[in-house]
């Protein structure tokens, strides 16, 4: 039995990493693996920054105890490239390696303001030494791998994978691309996800197609501001805010939508895009992060200009799709097929299993 210790955010909290780990754990369960979890980072309680170091100390103590008693074959850490998260996980990584356990270091998010620090000599040495402690590093885009190679990390120790989706659950059956259309945005309600740009694009679309609905799914710090802006713009009849949704309730929004818009400014590899593809939705997205490697303009949908943040461009792309339902049907079929073949949970989990095996083979030799 191969024992995997996974350091992860609390699986009961919303987020791409916790969702990924739940899918991975479900797929590994009952195979040749025994899985144990250690929840790290903020656990859902209201910890002030002042008490965060104390929380990390408690988690370090728990980690030492689990390593002693569980004795994992591989430790799977899931950091994001944010200051507090990456420094915390470097501490965990160093401790685990001191105890002699192999580590898979899976960087789910990528902050360019931090990777820019790689260019500074002092920061470069700091990050290089710590990344090199990991046996294997997994990233979600070729760009991220190139950043690490330029930092001085051996490319043989860096693997690229994607996020994943249970494609069968999202399969929409025979989707009817006819008016009135539902435009879906599902994300954290904050500026960085492009929510304001989409909202500003609404009048451009409804001026021509007045029955079009814009469905916002998600919670976040800017939710109330977006609601107020909607009222100020006088578009309440066309914009519906639904809050945070999970499970079948969330899936139904994808099945009932016709177009998925995701003008995010920066990403790792957003699972919601795969969920939209699995539901047969044509995309209007910015090609950022891992999406650069997989989204082709005109095939899965339309790609927005990454150097500008134009609401007019978003509106124009949506209108272009509405005016060409035959193109939407073609994109829909492309997305459903591609998701099943490349991004389904079974396919992606097999990639991770192969990486675990790779680490264990290296350990033997």
H or E element at residue 128: helix 121-131
Residues 319 and 199 both lie in one domain: yes
Give the chain's mean pLDDT.
92
Residues 202 and 100 both lie in one domain: no
Residue with tokens 């949506």, as numbered in its chain: 318
Residues 64 and 76 both lie in one domain: yes
Whole-model pTM above 0.95?
A: no
Omega within 30 of 0 (cis) for the link into 180: yes
Domain range holding 71?
2-164+344-364
Nearest Cα neighbor of 323 from 130, 179, 221, 137 is 179
How far apart CA 121 and CA 103 sit, in angstroms, is 26
Confidence of residue 96 (pLDDT cuts 50, 70, 90): very high
pLDDT in tens, 291-303: 999 999 999 999 9
115 CB-near residues (< 8 Å, 6+ apart): 81, 144, 147
pLDDT in tens, 47-69: 455 677 888 899 999 999 999 99
Residues 360 and 228 both lie in one domain: no
Residues 52 and 154 both lie in one domain: yes
Residues 172 and 150 both lie in one domain: no
Number of domains in the chain: 2
pLDDT in tens, 18-31: 999 999 999 997 77
Determine which of 41-45, 165-169, 253-257, 278-282 has the lowest per-residue pLDDT on average. 41-45
10 CB-near residues (< 8 Å, 6+ apart): 18, 39, 43, 44
Q: What is the pLDDT of residue 323?
A: 97
Residues 141 and 270 both lie in one domain: no
> Per the structure block, which two tokens stand in for 64?
């030492």
Residues 173 and 316 both lie in one domain: yes
Residues 92 and 213 both lie in one domain: no
Residues 129 and 175 both lie in one domain: no
Q: Are 332 and 282 in contact (CB under 8 A)?
A: yes
- Is 363 a residue whose pLDDT tops 80? no
pLDDT in tens, 325-334: 999 999 999 9
pLDDT in tens, 260-269: 999 999 888 8
Q: What is the pLDDT of residue 277?
A: 97
116 CB-near residues (< 8 Å, 6+ apart): none
Provide the percentage of residues in the chain whose pLDDT is more than 70. Answer: 97
DSSP 329-357: HHHHHHHHHHIIIIIBHHHHHHHHHHHHH
How far apart CA 76 and CA 318 sit, in angstroms, is 40
Residues 148 and 203 both lie in one domain: no
* No. of helices (H) and no. of strands (E), the chain: 15, 12
Q: Are 2 and 33 in contact (CB under 8 A)?
A: yes
Determine which of 137-141, 272-276, 289-293 has the lowest per-residue pLDDT on average. 289-293
CATH of the domain at 108: 3.40.50.2000
pLDDT in tens, 235-244: 999 999 999 9
pLDDT in tens, 204-223: 999 999 999 999 999 999 99
Q: Are 187 and 165 in contact (CB under 8 A)?
A: no
Residues 173 and 290 both lie in one domain: yes
Q: What is the pLDDT of residue 307?
A: 79
């Amino acid at each position: 039995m191969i024992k995997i210790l996974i350091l992860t955010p609390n699986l009961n909290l919303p987020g791409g990493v916790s969702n990924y780990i739940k899918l991975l754990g479900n797929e590994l369960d009952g195979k040749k693996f025994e899985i144990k979890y250690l929840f790290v980072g903020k656990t859902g309680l209201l910890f002030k920054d002042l008490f965060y170091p104390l929380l990390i100390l408690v988690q370090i103590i728990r980690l030492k105890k689990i390593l002693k008693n569980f004795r994992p074959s591989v430790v799977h850490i899931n950091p994001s490239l944010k200051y507090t998260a990456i420094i915390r996980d470097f501490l965990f990584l160093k401790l685990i390696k001191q105890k002699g356990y192999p580590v898979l270091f899976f960087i789910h998010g990528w902050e360019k303001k931090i990777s820019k620090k790689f260019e500074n000599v002092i920061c470069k040495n700091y990050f290089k030494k710590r990344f090199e402690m990991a046996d294997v590093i997994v990233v979600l885009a070729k760009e991220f791998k190139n950043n690490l190679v330029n930092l001085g990390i051996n490319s043989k120790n860096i693997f690229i994978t994607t996020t994943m989706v249970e494609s069968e659950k999202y399969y929409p059956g025979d989707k009817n691309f006819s008016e009135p259309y539902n435009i879906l945005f599902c994300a954290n309600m904050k500026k960085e996800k492009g929510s304001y740009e989409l909202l500003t694009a609404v009048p451009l679309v409804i001026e021509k197609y007045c029955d079009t609905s814009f469905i916002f799914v998600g919670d976040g710090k800017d939710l109330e501001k977006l609601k107020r802006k909607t009222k100020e713009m006088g578009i309440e009849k066309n914009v519906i805010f639904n809050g945070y949704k999970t499970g079948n309730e969330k899936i139904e929004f994808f099945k009932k939508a016709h177009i998925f818009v995701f003008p995010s400014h920066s990403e790792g590899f957003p699972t919601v895009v795969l969920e939209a593809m699995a539901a047969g939705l044509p995309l209007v997205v910015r090609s950022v992060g891992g999406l650069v490697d997989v989204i082709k303009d005109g095939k899965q949908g339309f790609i927005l200009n990454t150097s500008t943040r134009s609401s007019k461009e978003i509106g124009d792309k949506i209108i272009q799709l509405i005016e060409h339902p035959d193109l939407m049907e073609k994109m829909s079929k492309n997305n459903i097929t591609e998701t099943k073949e490349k991004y389904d949970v079974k396919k992606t989990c097999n990639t991770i299993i192969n990486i675990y095996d790779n680490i264990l083979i290296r350990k033997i030799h």
